[in-house]
Structure 1
């Protein structure tokens, strides 16, 4: 892949040659093939490995206006889909469709800044088959919907600024307000955009007037969800603090280096081109807020210290802009071959890391588990459930199963029907359900330490431990399964102590 300096070499000439109107028409002949190819790839691999722990959790949650750890949208989607077809591949069809639509939105950003057919194709193939877009398109996460939402909000703001048509801010506010019912993290995107506009302009009064109107729409559309948060003690702040406490040491030092991996290393020069070009091209002056917004969102991700990928949406938009100078650079056959090879190599590596391409039986001998925690979290759930079911069967059918986390509870509920209605967990929103029956005497405890259990039971015996999955170590591997009897305290006290977020 060429260096960024070489990729940007014709920038000065473009100050003289750029057309009066920046935007180009979205070329469906260029962007539909990569969108359809992505849909085919994600559909073909949708059944690989098995449910992710989050998917097992989402499908269990009853419909509600909100939960302690998230707004209602993604769990509602999972619940509805599972009610029709209760298989992992069915949930992943939703994720695949979202990822395919996201390809069109990213390409539309490239078109909006003047990118023609080649630049739009580069944006679609590159962003669609990047590492994290593939990962989020394979599993139904709350972040899956951000693949569309964040680039769409940025596209609408870019239109508002470049076309000098402030009404696009209103539509951006509508999209962001609706997104609050999936994740409150979109507020960080809006803050980053505001910082970018304030720092780099344009500073026309009309821009800020329309932007303020868009912000008002966000508050109006999202008001019911925001009111729910306020009346329930702002649980999202509690969850954010818990994630930061757990992850900050491992997240903050790597946020900036991880930018290289989000889309893929060979696409970094295109991202850098998109970051620098607005400062080098006179007619892109009104785009300078976008690189500043990327800096702002990276700083916010470091400050939050929760997850490494929260800045993906803004990085993708910067990549979309960079596709224009990248294709302009690739005028010769040799350069075009280099650009195509960069995208192809990146897509192949991303697919190997993000998708269930490697058989589960061979996964332990590869680097995939080290790079992709989501892969580890899709393995071994049926075996876990069957082992706990066997312990319950050996110690009476009236026992209550108490699991340390929602993944374990979700696996048991899905794969051990005899334990349905008798499995409980204090993890996140599962603690909001009714506690175990007051008459509970025998508890099969999964993942709890002996010290924790002995405060409430006269006797606890370690019966077995959870297996690994095809020699891939996960957070469940080796967790104890204990049978406790002789309850010493009320079940309500045990249930209260079981509550935790993270």
Structure 2
């Protein structure tokens, strides 16, 4: 530890070409389908800026608002920021390869592998909290490696700043901190822990995240309630799929590369803590019932670590080895882009949706909102000033809100996630209710199932088959009914 060897030059021009091609492809395809359900929710949340929301801190909704304000309220306009985040991640990952001694070939390899990995393709195409997290985890990895290599405690300030920003986006970054911390205690270099700069870095993180922490504390930490509910609902499935999906989410073709990266890191006394952090992270996520993709940003860093030994392996091989590797790379890139990007006509998405359901969640929202508007039109004009549209989840509510002005319907209400905080309707809104994706039960009276959602394709997404009801009204005043309608997951 404490080595200050000179690093190879940064291959700025070659990495820049990779980033430019990535940005052009993402931008060309960003508007091909439509908004994703999460993006519709981010737009709604961004229109109601706050220091926090039930299920997320504020950064991603604020980025959604900024991107659409600057570039237009369209899928393409919204996704400019996702493209920029993806491009920045590619640059940082190339810098990680350089930090580990990789020259031009290794840096370019790391950049291309990241840009074409399935996970990066998906989160660089559409705006999600993971779009931001992928960049921040890469920055934490880069700063940590620089800290371990140089022993310069001032890098704790950079680590703390990245973690603080991460906490303002998604608290999952704390699991990364835990994994790296445990690994440092086990494998070292422990000397980087014996400095007041560590306390300073923790202070920076807390200062940056303070407004978010205060908001969560004032609202009884709803993020933890949401996380607990997700674990209870999906934990068993996540644990079963966790290991197999580690082989898929980056790309099956890149598995040998990130395995080589883990081996390479373990052989380096200054970097082996980062190698151990990956299995530690996986164990923690398995215990908590976290989703398999939660660990993938760290796996991307393992791939960067494998870039240099893989480049050397290819250089030592003959023509047959390089041709075989090239064929594998082309196949992997085709699979990642077809599964992760809107390349196919929407009508042909059936097989893709079976592998990546997020593709299907970008199709059919205008048709969804139009169906709801048709049911709304059945309400007599004299009753509409007391009528309400109530949606079962934030995607449904976000779609109706996004298209409500165009379709001549009011902004909807929902009890799901932060939409519950933006309600309830006034008790005077005691007239008819259009219910979307909600069982009327005893909460609404005089209900008739009018139709169900059909987006016109022979494959299904989460909303196809959703019932739309028209009810005479709520069974109780909205203020009394609202606590029973609230859902955290």
| Coarse TM-score class (shorter-chain normalised) | over 0.9
The residue number in structure 2 matching 1:414 is: 402
Tell me if 1:435 matches 2:424: yes
Give, in whole Å, the separation in 1 of the partners of 2:40 and 2:116: 26
Which structure 2 residue ranges, 5 or more long, are not aligned?
A: none
Summarize the alignment of residues 231-270 of structure 1 with structure 2, pairs less than 5 Å apart: 231-270=218-257
User: Helix, strand or coil: the match of 1:378?
Assistant: coil
- What per-residue deviation string (whole Å, max 9, x for no partner) do you get for residues 411-460 of structure 1? 112223255544111110011013113122200101112xxx24133311
Tell me if 1:299 matches 2:286: no
Summarize the alignment of residues 196-275 of structure 1 with structure 2, pairs less than 5 Å apart: 196-204=183-191, 209-275=196-262
Tell me if 1:424 matches 2:424: no
The residue number in structure 1 matching 2:108 is: 121
Q: Work out whether residues 125 and 343 of structure 1, in 8 Å CA contact, stay in contact via their aligned partners in 2.
A: no
Give, in whole Å, the separation in 2 of the partners of 1:420 and 1:70: 28
The residue number in structure 2 matching 1:15 is: none
Q: Work out whether residues 57 and 406 of structure 1, in 8 Å CA contact, stay in contact via their aligned partners in 2.
A: yes
In the superposition, the TM-score normalised over structure 2's length comes to 0.93
Give, in whole Å, the separation in 2 of the partners of 1:327 and 1:295: 25
Query: Structure 1: which 4+ aligned runs deviate by more than 6 Å?
Result: none
Counterpart selection for 1:73 from 56, 59, 62: 59
User: Helix, strand or coil: the match of 1:309?
Assistant: helix
Cα RMSD of the aligned pairs, angstroms, is: 1.8
Give, in whole Å, the separation in 1 of the partners of 2:64 and 2:193: 42
Give, in whole Å, the separation in 1 of the partners of 2:77 and 2:473: 43
- What per-residue deviation string (whole Å, max 9, x for no partner) do you get for residues 445-492 of structure 1? 01112xxx2413331101111114522211211111111115431122
Give, in whole Å, the separation in 1 of the partners of 2:408 and 2:438: 19
| CA shift for structure 1 position 20 | 8.4
The residue number in structure 2 matching 1:448 is: 438
Q: Work out whether residues 426 and 479 of structure 2, in 8 Å CA contact, stay in contact via their aligned partners in 1.
A: no
Q: Work out whether residues 43 and 64 of structure 2, in 8 Å CA contact, stay in contact via their aligned partners in 1.
A: yes
Q: Work out whether residues 441 and 485 of structure 1, in 8 Å CA contact, stay in contact via their aligned partners in 2.
A: yes
Summarize the alignment of residues 269-288 of structure 1 with structure 2, pairs less than 5 Å apart: 269-279=256-266, 281=267, 284-288=268-272
The residue number in structure 1 matching 2:451 is: 464
Change (3 A) 1:149 1:498: same
Q: Work out whether residues 389 and 410 of structure 2, in 8 Å CA contact, stay in contact via their aligned partners in 1.
A: no
Give, in whole Å, the separation in 2 of the partners of 1:337 and 1:30: 22
The residue number in structure 2 matching 1:132 is: 119
Q: Work out whether residues 468 and 474 of structure 1, in 8 Å CA contact, stay in contact via their aligned partners in 2.
A: no
Give, in whole Å, the separation in 2 of the partners of 1:153 and 1:486: 52
Which structure 1 residue ranges, 5 or more long, are not aligned?
A: 1-18
Q: Work out whether residues 402 and 444 of structure 1, in 8 Å CA contact, stay in contact via their aligned partners in 2.
A: yes
Q: Work out whether residues 22 and 112 of structure 1, in 8 Å CA contact, stay in contact via their aligned partners in 2.
A: no
Give, in whole Å, the separation in 1 of the partners of 2:318 and 2:408: 63
| CA shift for structure 1 position 205 | 5.5
